[in-house]
Structure 1
Amino acid sequence: MRAAVNKVSIPDSDVFVIQDLQEPYFDPNWHAHPDYQLFVVLEGTGTRFIGDNVQPFQPGDMVFTGPNLPHLWHSDDTYFQEENDLKTRGIVIYFHQDFLGEGLLQKREMSKVRQLFERAQLGLNIYGNTNRKVKVKILSLLHIEGFPSVLCLLEIINLLAHSSEYKLISSVGYTHRINETDTERMNRVHDYVMHNYKQNISLEKVASLANMTPSSFSRYFKVRANKTFSAFVSDIRIGHACKLLQENQMNIAQVSYECGYRTLSNFNKQFRDITNRTPSKYKNEYAEIVHS
């Protein structure tokens, strides 16, 4: 699995690029590019990786990321099966970090936009009323051309810049460390873990995929991901557990086993450490939100 670090090419003649992505599954490659990106999921579920953060995604998930922040939306395993009628859809907007011009960006009137761009270096998860308003404008932008399309993009940026309905995605201490070799290694690691997290994952096996010794791989992974490999696996397992609890088709013990935990006590501890609540409390809180 080989992927270029820079996947996006915005023509010099254009201010931005918007794409309506409709595929059986989202591109499962870990990558980064030197542009700002606004992405909203319209169809599909899975796990997204942004910087050092791992979270499940579902329709409505909206993320704004800054230049060179590594990311990946990995669809659930069912989307990769040949015999299914599932599909994914997402709309993505790319624009250069200097499309407004450095001079304009430094003006007093642009302070909110400047702060938005700075926060986006860690990735922003957009929610609430802002999410809904921006989604409407993104959908309309698909059908607008010329200067009106630039005005629409500016309206979207203005909505984001004046909103408090966001959460930082990556840790404050996270720094971007990615190159072509890292991309290939991390893609192999992501792919293996996403297909095997329900089983026991051997550090030796994963290290061999990266052509490294276990000790070297452990140090390498912690520097690139800002967390240990075991913590990374736990994030993926608990993220999947959250989705299963939301679906409410299994009891907690079944969810625990389905996510690769062989003891309920270990599952409860890991879940509480990552989400700051017990599985039962998480399940009840989600049910209250859905039925409110």
Structure 2
Amino acid sequence: MKLALRKSIENQVASFTMQELTAPHFDPNWHFHPHYQLFTVEEGTGTRFIGDNIQPFEPGDTVFLGPNIPHLWRSDPAYFQTSSGLSTKGIVVYFTEDFLGNDFFKRPEMHGLQSFFTDATRGYEITGVLKSQIRERMHKLLQASGFQAILQLLSILDELAHAEECQPIASLGYVNTHKVSETERMQKVHDYVLDHFRQEIRLDEMASLAGMSPSAFCRYFKTRTNRTFSEFVSEVRIGYACKLLIEGKFTITQICYESGFNTISNFNRQFKEITTLTPAQYQKAYQ
């Protein structure tokens, strides 16, 4: 398995990096890096992990992340099958806070952007009309170069900094407590849960996978994710259930069992605890 390490994204010929990503699936590794990141999904579905937040993603999902916040766009299982014919596509922009010099964003005129960068430690989900506008501007940014590229990026950042349609993603007070040396252990946990959440997941098996006793694993997981392991599993299952509800191909009872729950009552209770809606209300609200 490829190790999930702290990434370093550098561009030797420009002050920031733009990439159009096309691959059978998105990078399956839980990782973080010292760059700010603006990312939009063009094609693909799956589960998004940012800090201590878990949500399903689909085309149009657009976020802005601060440095060193762990994240992962885990494509649905079908994308890992070589014969599926599926592929993912996205546009990403990486830059450091000093990409225009050490003091550029410390100038009085940059106060709004500086505050936006500070709050981005939780990550921002871009919503509403602004989401489509930012995605369109990211397409144009791909075609720009030199001074025009810098002007366009600054204009995008300024719009985000003053918009109401940027919603925090990670919980208030979230701090990345992961060490580079520990990311492989958390990667194993993420991979196992995402591959087996439809089945019973035993705590002792997970603890053994992480090389810990069950009690030590519970403390470790809670410290680094701000949730218990059972809460994490439930959120993964509910995230998958949300995707199935949106697709509308199964009944709610079928979705309950497809998502790894054993009883409809437990499914309904946990679904409402996490989303504040019943499955039927969630489906109706989306439609």
Q: 1:129 matched to which residue of 2?
A: 129
Q: Which amino acid aligns with 1:74?
A: R
Q: 1:203 matched to which residue of 2?
A: 203
Moved segments of 4+, more than 6 Å: none
Please give the secondary structure, in 2, of the residue aligned with 1:142: helix
Q: 1:86 matched to which residue of 2?
A: 86
Please give the secondary structure, in 1, of the residue aligned with 2:231: helix
Q: 1:146 matched to which residue of 2?
A: 146
For the Cα contact (< 8 Å) 2:97–2:105, is it kept in 1?
Answer: no
Q: Which amino acid aligns with 1:200?
A: E
How large is the RMSD of aligned CA atoms in angstroms?
1.2
Distance in 2, Cα, partners of 1:4 & 1:234: 24
**Could you say if the C-alpha distance between residues 204 and 60 of structure 1 is closer, same or farther in structure 2, counting changes exceeding 3 Å?**
same
**Could you say if the C-alpha distance between residues 271 and 4 of structure 1 is closer, same or farther in structure 2, counting changes exceeding 3 Å?**
closer
1:247 aligns with 2:252: no
Q: Which amino acid aligns with 2:259?
A: C
- Measured after TM superposition, the shift of residue 101 of structure 1 is 3.7
For the Cα contact (< 8 Å) 1:37–1:65, is it kept in 2?
Answer: yes
Q: Gapped runs of 5+ residues in structure 1?
A: 288-292
Please give the secondary structure, in 1, of the residue aligned with 2:103: helix
Q: 1:191 matched to which residue of 2?
A: 191
Deviations 1:12-56 (A, max 9, x none): 653100111100000100000001001100000000111000000
For the Cα contact (< 8 Å) 2:30–2:187, is it kept in 1?
Answer: yes
- Measured after TM superposition, the shift of residue 102 of structure 1 is 4.4
- Measured after TM superposition, the shift of residue 145 of structure 1 is 1.3
1:238-277 equivalences in 2 (<5 Å): 238-277=238-277
For the Cα contact (< 8 Å) 2:65–2:122, is it kept in 1?
Answer: yes
Deviations 1:249-275 (A, max 9, x none): 111110000001110000000000000
| TM-score w.r.t. length of structure 2 | 0.97
Bigger CA drift: 69-78 or 175-184?
Answer: 175-184
For the Cα contact (< 8 Å) 1:127–1:166, is it kept in 2?
Answer: yes
Q: 2:213 matched to which residue of 1?
A: 213
1:24 aligns with 2:36: no
Deviations 1:128-173 (A, max 9, x none): 1211111111111111111111111111111111111011100112
Distance in 1, Cα, partners of 2:63 & 2:278: 27
Q: 1:161 matched to which residue of 2?
A: 161
Distance in 2, Cα, partners of 1:5 & 1:184: 8
- Measured after TM superposition, the shift of residue 6 of structure 1 is 2.4
1:5 aligns with 2:5: yes
For the Cα contact (< 8 Å) 2:15–2:100, is it kept in 1?
Answer: no
Q: 2:109 matched to which residue of 1?
A: 109
1:11-50 equivalences in 2 (<5 Å): 11=11, 14-50=14-50
Q: 1:74 matched to which residue of 2?
A: 74
Distance in 1, Cα, partners of 2:15 & 2:102: 15
Deviations 1:104-136 (A, max 9, x none): 323332121112101210000001121111111
Distance in 2, Cα, partners of 1:156 & 1:15: 16
Q: 2:176 matched to which residue of 1?
A: 176
Q: Which amino acid aligns with 2:120?
A: A
| TM-score w.r.t. length of structure 1 | 0.95
Q: Which amino acid aligns with 1:16?
A: F
Bigger CA drift: 240-249 or 106-115?
Answer: 106-115
Distance in 2, Cα, partners of 1:67 & 1:243: 29
For the Cα contact (< 8 Å) 1:67–1:97, is it kept in 2?
Answer: no
Equivalenced residues, count: 287
**Could you say if the C-alpha distance between residues 253 and 32 of structure 1 is closer, same or farther in structure 2, counting changes exceeding 3 Å?**
same
Deviations 1:212-251 (A, max 9, x none): 1111111001111111111100110000111100111111
Q: 1:284 matched to which residue of 2?
A: 284
For the Cα contact (< 8 Å) 1:35–1:66, is it kept in 2?
Answer: yes
Q: Gapped runs of 5+ residues in structure 2?
A: none
